[in-house]
Structure 1
Amino acid sequence: MSRQRQEGRSMSLLRLSAFRFGRGQVLARALDLDLIAGEQAVLLGPNGVGKSTFLQALLDPALRLGGEAQLAPGARVGYLAQSGEALDALPLSGRELLSLTQATPAGLPPALAACLDQRLDALSGGQRQFLRFWSIAAAPFDVLLLDEPSNNLDEAGVHALQHWLARPHPAQAVLLVTHDSRLVAARQRRLSLEPA
């Protein structure tokens, strides 16, 4: 999706209004958000306030307990969960993982590009994590929901992730959950989840 405009202003790819979520009970105070193409927001808050559940609620209406969540018409969402355990049992190569999401290997760090034809279960946890991230980030998604993308990454992986986040991505909006201060940049909009 190219950057959309409505009445001369950028159109929200993701709009939340008084959004409340949880697993049976509201976990955090209501949240409002307008996220446009090219924008990155980082979601901060104490452990246990529900940052991961918040991202899941954007995909699963059963976790929505009030307010509204709207995606722009035709917007595609890519979600990187904290855990990639579901992939561990699948006999996939890195190249096959990227093809599942139509992600391009162009721009992948050379050390990881060299691993694309190996099975994921033969790679290190950090290599698998970065390929999971890349399968979302380099795919044709409009809204990226990234939950702790630096988990299991070594210093080189974190640096590559920082480099990706620092580049402009004019057709994508990014909503990032992280405890890794190295991924929080001044240009990112900061959102705070507070206990209900």
Structure 2
Amino acid sequence: MAGDLLLRVAGLRAGYAGPVAGPLDFELRRGEIVGLAGPNGAGKSTLLKALWGGVRVFGGEVHKAPGLQISHQAQGFDDLRGVPLSGHDLLGLTGADPAGLPPWLAGRLGERLDRLSGGQLQFLRLWACLAAPADLVLLDEPTNNLDRAGVAHLADWLGRAHGGQGIVLVSHDHAFIDQVCTRVVEVGA
């Protein structure tokens, strides 16, 4: 694969017991943010999972740059009640640097994850992926549970700080996609 090309997807069809999404074609280079857009049920999240091996590939190809490191943020939360992990612990597990976290979250890193609000936990999970030492970041509905301040901070960071990574994201928030993505690929259109 050429120098800064991280990912080449050609004719990707993916699913579970059978194919439910695709075909999908695109290339991703360092510094690009590709948004997967389309109607509910078009298979955007399924195709995103296929990029890291989370679902079965039924056709097409996914070519990854040699040694590609992937960070993936999935929708939903695991039940963390009773799990004694702090924000510092989560960032440490992914190797994410806390520098750049918004002040409303940076001051709460010592707290247990099960004491954070849904929006705080969502932003921390995003940060654990975005600030990890990864070449490719996959984000599935990153604005879920975020308030306006969280969405604004995320959009600002994506707009200026991700230069060495390639990012693929799925979102129903069309304004967010238009604001942060360098390119949009329609799925199921």
* TM-score normalised by the chain length of structure 1: 0.89
| Equivalent position of 1:189 in the other structure | 183
Q: Give the CA deviation at 1:61.
A: 6.6
Matched, 1:109 2:109: no
| Equivalent position of 1:90 in the other structure | 83
Q: 1:89 to 1:73 in 2, by over 3 A?
A: farther
**Is contact 1:162–1:182 with CA below 8 Å preserved after alignment?**
no
Q: Give the CA deviation at 1:41.
A: 0.4
**Is contact 1:146–1:176 with CA below 8 Å preserved after alignment?**
yes
1:3-22 deviation line (CA, Å, top 9, x unaligned) = xx84xxx4321111111111
| Equivalent position of 1:14 in the other structure | 7
SS across alignment from 2:101: coil
* TM-score normalised by the chain length of structure 2: 0.92
| Amino acid in the other structure paired with 1:54 | L
**Is contact 1:38–1:168 with CA below 8 Å preserved after alignment?**
no
| Amino acid in the other structure paired with 1:176 | L
Moved more, 72-81 or 165-174: 165-174
1:103-129 deviation line (CA, Å, top 9, x unaligned) = 000011011000000001001000000
Q: Give the CA deviation at 1:157.
A: 0.8
Q: Give the CA deviation at 1:181.
A: 2.4
Match of 1:30 among 4, 19, 23: 23
Q: Give the CA deviation at 1:87.
A: 4.5
